[in-house]
């Protein structure tokens, strides 16, 4: 892995003509240092670019190959520049939050992975009954900020292992609550770099999905809580924490693997099919909760994907149920 900053790129590898970059990309299928250098020149000095960045370290499952290029924009105009750069060159890109709810295949990702981890995208501020948070803010941090202001309704977020942007994309939830229940408005960027603000009523969110974010990137959101006393907030948080410890594994996982079908909870179905505890390589269907596949040690993405397919096949053949994955699967084998 190597790292380039915009200033280092300017004084280091000189980018070749655009036609040469395009030809190199088509020929190898991988992005190289010349591509990275030209992208770096389009961004501010605070942005970070890394070549061949291992994604296993950036996902909660701890599996997956490397991204050709990993980029952290320092500000919104950097993000717009990345999108324009990739669009003009026909390069795929992916926005990565905390890396939960994601399986990256062992061959890695051919394209640009964008991490919204810098302060411009992860700041949290409270005003009255509202919490404004960047898309890169961890949900646990959002809940903690609300608690310090004696704001209730945020406690369920503490147990969701992800960032606000990813949670918006998935309409994440826990303990019978959903993020869109407390969402007031959101700032977004479309794939052409235009920024707009929308109210929650303008977005159509369903179970574990908000289709709008297939074509838009969340930048920040305003969430609304209700006044509460610190003791009540702490009691609710502790109740959620105890339930989590009792019902979810502690080993690395991506969270729930499958969406719940209409007729039965996915975890119960998987248990009834006899998969609890089943292993493939270092991957295991959790003995604690059937809808979690954990990295029990040394797992590969292939191990996990083989287990996923075995479960889906048996659910189809024995119960006539088509399980849909909740986790997103990206990259090459």
At residue 11, the pLDDT reads: 26
CB 40 within 8 A of CB 10: yes
pLDDT at 15: 29
DSSP state of 13: S
CA distance 194 to 24: 30
Residue 43, burial from CB neighbour count under 10 angstroms (0-12, 13-18, 19+): buried
Per-residue pLDDT averaged across 139-164, rounded? 93
The residues pairing with 48 across neighbouring beta strands, listed in sequence order, are 72
> How far is 268 from 245, CA to CA, in rounded Å?
18
Beta strands in the chain, from DSSP E residues, in sequence order: 2-4, 48-54, 66-72, 93-96, 102-104, 109-115, 124-127, 130-134, 151-152, 173-174, 177-178, 183-190, 195-199, 216-224, 226-227, 279-280, 283-285, 293-295, 328-330
Q: What value, to the nearest 5°, has the Cα angle with vertex 33 and ends 32 and 38?
A: 105
pLDDT of residue 28: 46
pLDDT of 298 over the 50 cut:
yes
CB proximity list for 201: less than 8 A, separation 6 or greater: none
* pLDDT score recorded for residue 296: 97
Give the residue among 246, 244, 267 at the shortest CA–CA distance from 257: 267
Q: What is the pLDDT of residues 40-89, one digit of tens each?
A: 999 998 999 999 999 999 999 999 999 999 999 999 999 999 999 999 99
What local confidence, expressed as pLDDT, does residue 293 receive? 98
Q: Yes or no: say if 258 and 291 are a contact pair by the CB < 8 Å rule.
A: yes
Rounded to 10 degrees, the C-alpha dihedral 99/102/106/108 comes to -60
pLDDT at 18 over 70: no
Give 218-238 pLDDT, tens digit per residue.
999 999 999 999 999 999 999
- Residue found by looking up tokens 């289709």 in the block: 211
> 243-275, pLDDT tens digit by residue?
888 888 999 999 999 999 999 999 999 999 999
Give every strand in the sheet of 183-190, ordered side by side. 124-127, 130-134, 216-224, 183-190, 195-199
3-state DSSP: the chain helix, strand, coil percent, rounded to 5? Answer: 35, 25, 35
pLDDT in tens, 84-111: 999 999 999 999 988 999 999 999 999 9
pLDDT confidence bin for 173, thresholds 50/70/90: confident
Q: What single DSSP character describes residue 297?
A: S
The mean pLDDT value of the chain amounts to 89
Ordered domains of the chain (ranges, CATH) = 2-119 (3.30.43.10), 123-232 (3.30.465.10), 250-330 (3.90.78.10)
Average of per-residue pLDDT across 30-45: 91
**Cβ atoms within 10 Å, residue 230:** 12
Phi, psi of 254 (to 5 degrees): -100, 10
């Amino acid at each position: 892995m190597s790292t380039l900053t915009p200033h280092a790129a300017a004084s280091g590898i000189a980018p070749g003509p655009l036609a040469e970059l395009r030809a190199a990309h088509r020929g190898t299928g991988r992005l190289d240092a010349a591509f990275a250098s030209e992208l770096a020149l389009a961004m501010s000095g605070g942005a970070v670019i890394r070549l061949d960045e291992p994604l296993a370290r950036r996902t909660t499952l701890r599996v997956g190959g490397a991204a050709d290029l990993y980029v952290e924009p320092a500000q919104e105009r950097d993000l717009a520049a990345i999108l324009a750069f990739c669009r003009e060159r026909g390069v795929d890109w992916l926005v990565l939050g905390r890396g939960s709810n994601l399986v990256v295949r062992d061959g890695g990702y051919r394209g640009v992975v964008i991490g919204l981890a810098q302060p411009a995208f992860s700041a949290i501020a409270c005003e009255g009954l509202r919490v404004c948070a960047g898309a890169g803010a961890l949900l646990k941090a959002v809940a903690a900020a609300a608690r310090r202001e004696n704001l209730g309704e945020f406690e369920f977020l503490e147990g969701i292992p992800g960032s606000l942007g990813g949670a918006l994309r998935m309409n994440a939830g826990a303990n019978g609550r959903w993020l869109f229940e407390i969402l007031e408005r959101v700032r977004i960027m479309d794939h052409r770099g235009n920024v707009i603000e929308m109210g929650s009523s303008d977005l159509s969110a369903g179970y574990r999905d908000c289709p709008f974010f297939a074509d838009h990137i969340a930048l920040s959101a305003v969430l609304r809580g209700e006044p509460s006393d610190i003791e009540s907030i702490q009691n609710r948080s502790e109740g959620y924490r105890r339930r989590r410890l009792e019902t979810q594994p502690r080993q690395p996982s991506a969270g729930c693997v499958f969406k719940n079908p209409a007729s039965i909870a996915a975890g119960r179905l998987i248990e009834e099919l006899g998969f609890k505890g089943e292993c493939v390589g270092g991957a295991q269907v959790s003995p604690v909760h059937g809808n979690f596949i954990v990295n029990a040690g040394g797992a590969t993405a292939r191990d996990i994907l083989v287990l996923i397919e075995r479960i889906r096949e048996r659910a189809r053949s024995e119960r006539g149920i088509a399980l849909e994955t909740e986790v997103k699967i990206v990259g090459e084998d």
